[in-house]
Amino acid sequence: MPSFDIVNRLDFQEIDNALANVNREITNRYDFKGSETSIERKDNDLTVVTDDELKLSQVHDLIITHLVRRKLDPLCLNKKNLEKAGGSKVRQFYNFIEGIEQSIAKKITADVKTSKIKVQVKINGNELRVDGKKKDDLQTVMNMIENSKIGIPVQFINFRD
């Protein structure tokens, strides 16, 4: 029986490469001369500390640009709270989204069931498994999930006949 898995996995090596490129560009840009801007990643958390909110928005744009250049979906980056750091500095927290949350998995399952395509969707932790009798039905489900705006990047792996 043909099947495939729907997952949300991140390539942290590519994320580190993108952040290294952002740091390199910050040190070379004229508008960041004399500013103390730092980007630090620990596991799924990212912290940006800079002088003011204008530089913070520029750093955010640089992070998104370099993630896209590395073929990473910018939807994997979730903006958290903004707080004042020491002096006139600001600190922005980000979170990398990995895995499919239960609520999003249930939404995908409900969307597939309402489409009346003859496939079965099973939730396995933070992944989904889709089984069907025809490859065409599975490809239709793939297109439907890609076109629906679920808010996270998804990959389709383990396609089996």
CATH class in words for 3-8+99-160:
alpha beta
Q: Which pLDDT score is estimated for 1?
A: 84
Q: Which pLDDT score is estimated for 149?
A: 84
Q: Which residues contact 2 (CB under 8 A, 6 or more apart)?
A: 131, 132, 133, 134, 135, 138, 159, 160, 161
Of 24, 19, 13, which is closest to residue 67 (Cα–Cα)?
A: 19
Q: What is the pLDDT of residues 7-17, one digit of tens each?
A: 999 999 999 99
**In the chain, domain spans:** 3-8+99-160, 12-96
Q: Are 72 and 15 in contact (CB under 8 A)?
A: yes
Q: What is the pLDDT of residues 117-153, one digit of tens each?
A: 999 999 988 899 999 999 999 999 999 998 988 888 8
Q: Which residues contact 21 (CB under 8 A, 6 or more apart)?
A: 66, 69
Report d(CA 90, CA 119) in Å as an integer.
49
Q: Are 67 and 82 in contact (CB under 8 A)?
A: no
Within 10 angstroms of residue 4's Cβ, the number of other Cβ atoms is 21
Per DSSP, helices labelled H in the chain are 12-28, 53-69, 102-114, 135-147
12-96 topology per CATH: Alpha-Beta Plaits (3.30.70)
Q: Which pLDDT score is estimated for 151?
A: 85
Q: What is the pLDDT of residues 61-108, one digit of tens each?
A: 999 999 999 999 999 999 998 898 888 899 999 999 999 999 999 999
